[in-house]
Each structure stands twice: as C-alpha cells, then as structure tokens.
Amino acid sequence: MITHDNARTMIATALSKGRELELKPLSVVVLDAGGHVLAFEREDGAAPGRFEIARGKAYGAVMLGMPGSAQMARAETQAYFMAAVNGAYGGKVIPVPGGVLVMADGAVVGAVGVTGDTSDNDAVAAVAGVEAAGFAAQA
C-alpha cells in the first residue's frame, strides 16, 4: 500500500529529478491501486490543465496494469483496442510514457503520472520518485 508519506516522497523526488535534468515545469500525481488520487502537485509555470494529463497517464497504467510505454506500443499496433479502452474508461486514459506502475512484491499497488516535458523525460522523473519511496517502478 502507498502511504501519504510515500506519495509525498514520490512527488518531491520526481520534481527534484525534473529540476536536476532541467526539464520544463512538471506536474505529478500518485494514484492508489484503485485509480484514486493520493496526492498531486504542479510546479510553478506548469499549465493548469496538466492535472488531467498526469492523472490520465497514471490512470491508464494502473487500470490496465501496463505502463504508458506499453500502452503507447499497443496503441501503435492496435489503435482500435486503445480507443475501445479509452471509451470504456470515459476518455481518462492517456497512453504515453510518463504513466509508471508502482510495484511491491510483484503486485501493482498504484501508479505515478508525470507530465510537463517530453513523455520519455516525464517517465524518468516518475521512476526516480517511485524508487525513492522504496517501490519498484515499471515504466
């Protein structure tokens, strides 16, 4: 289970990693295994609409049990499948890197969504946050 302290560590570390890499202002959300928001933070200068993007990346990861990179690959080869999934989830899925699974003992316990820079850079920041909180990341 991801505690509030775990979620805060994930966010603080992801944002710190973004500053270290000189990324654009980031927004970070942490979801539990049921897709519910545990914590969110948006850096100064990040667009206000970034919450929905960060949540969509994390939501797709946790609900499908696959990280954003795998969702993107699936969307490229089976666009109809991802379109159907997104319809089933009310348009809440954003199938690109930056949605990272949080794993404990081989089980999905939540997801982190990061947005603001390139999707690949977003994923790097998310992984740093997940690992800093003592969990395994699947990006």
Q: Model's pTM, two decimal places?
A: 0.97
Backbone angles phi, psi at 89, to 5 degrees: -100, 20
Q: Read off the pLDDT of residues 49-84 as tens digits, 9 standing for 90 and up.
A: 999 999 999 999 999 999 999 999 999 999 999 999
CB burial string 86-119: b at 16+ within 10 A, e below: beeeeeebbbbbbbbbbbeeeebbbbbbbbbbeb
Mean pLDDT, range 73-97, rounded to an integer: 96
